[in-house]
Structure 1
Amino acid sequence: MMTTELLIAFLASTAGAATPLVVASMGELVTERSGVLNLGLEGMMLMGAVVGFGVTLGTGSMVLGLLAAAAAGMLMSLVFGFLVLTLQTNQVATGLALTLFGLGASAFLGRGFVGQTVEPMPHLSFPVLSDLPFIGPLLFRFDAMVYASVALVLLIGWMLARTRLGLVIRAVGESPHSAHAIGFPVIGLRYGTVLFGGALAGLGGAYLSLALTPMWVEGMTAGRGWIALAQVVFATWKPRGVLIGAYLFGGVTVLQFHGQGMGLAIPSEFLSMLPYLATIVVLVIICRNPQTILLNKPMSLGQHFKPD
């Protein structure tokens, strides 16, 4: 039986589990809105996780660790952007290669960090609000990244819908040739969205090694980069859909741990696969209606553009 304390713990843990997915998915959403498909999120998150952990461990500054993680993600995305935007390589193949590179490079860089820990990201405390029964621990006792991820969704949603920059990004994603014809710098703008997506992927990875499990473990993203990619489709390229999808996945992820802790007579292997099974089921349901997918999908997603 779930008590009030268990319910609060479950909901609070869900927010933590969802945060790296929200951050990484929002970066990919902006990238895809400009017409670029980056399948290298898994590798970028791993590089962000290992670099963020290493810098934090060496300097004692979590801020520097987060900045370094964002820079690592941007560096990898810059390589991706040069290959697909300048050299016009295949976006799918290049993204997959980047993921494989991230898996190997992060394992190599993290060899000296195995078994070491850092102080976890501190939780914020709000006077009076944090002490409120039920509401306090549920809404006002998280670390800064949890609040920043929600603010990021609102900010990007507003930017894409209400600003000139958002309109240009969407225009480039729909028809880069038309956007180029009226004077928009398509390649430059796509470089910007790719770098932005890489920075957020690095931050999402750093959250894993600095907050959720404040240590470095090889392959610690455990497929979250792929889940983040799937969430963009699940959300039909809408920011609020990303937030909903991330919290659903986070809830299922946390449910497996609570289920094991409550002694449910279910094999642990089945509980561990629940988050990924839920993702597959949701995608299958969505894809039964092609019109839902096509509703907001950028028309030039994954297609090359070469200025005349």
Structure 2
Amino acid sequence: MRFTLRQLQVFVAVAQHESVSRAAQSLALSQSATSTSLTELERQSDCQLFDRAGKRLALNALGRQLLPEAVALLDQAREIERLLGGKSGYGSLNVGATLTVGNYLATLLIGSFMQQHPECRVKLQVHNTAHVVQQIAHYELDLGLIEGDCQHPDIEVQPWVEDELVVFCAPQHPLARRGSASLEELTHEAWILREQGSGTRLTFDQAMRHHPRNLNIRLELEHTEAIKRAVESGLGIGCISRLALRDAFRRGSLMPVETPQLDLRRQFYFIWHRQKYQTAAMREFLEQCRALTAGVSRSDQIVLPSIV
């Protein structure tokens, strides 16, 4: 063969970072060694894989074609290395999750997975939907658990479990006594909402799209816990997943406000790159996620695993 696995590893890192220096840092190599490895790969193959614009390197058509093949080959090589080293089980798993899934489901799911497979190195990154989709598209994650829409042509999307948002308020709020509100009443309230780009905000905006009156959005926050604290403090009303609110509803620190005129249902999804090699760890983790939600109609009904 005209290439080595190290050369492919350098190629993938440069493709992901679009920079030799950042790729070198991620691989713990010197910048000169990284640059030499990439140059040798292109010279030996008599081809160019990047378009150079100053210090920025962008994949050309051939590079984009090579990238998924290189990522898959490196994943398989790592599994072969483990087998040759006498190590059974799983190597590593890099999961991305959106905030609701990450904070209220993924951490416990990963904890349960690691208890069963302590040899596996697992990483969890929690971001909004747009960021997780971008990471999957650039092969920076093995698997994504998201709560928003994904229309990326290179990404496989599979439904997982249904979720539902709910409008909520503080116990002392006038809507708490009634337990429900009309659209007209909602337009007069101050709102504490998630930021643009989050799956939660997308679902809320879609539910309100047929009701064009402007809302009084007092705060936009990136974290569900911050929204809950702001609503508890009486700054306004909010709308996030029932899953994130079920403990607060049980305690009575927050109160649901039913909105029959709004359809706040949505879906949680699994996503991965269509050309990503599915490792044994990916397949096992997906099976555990599906087993957890078997027979469950909505996310807040999930019985979460206990981590001892």
TM-score normalised over the length of structure 2:
0.21
TM-score normalised over the length of structure 1:
0.21
Q: Which has the higher contact order (CA 8 A, sep 6+)?
A: 1
Q: Which has the higher helix share?
A: 1
Q: Which has the higher strand share?
A: 2
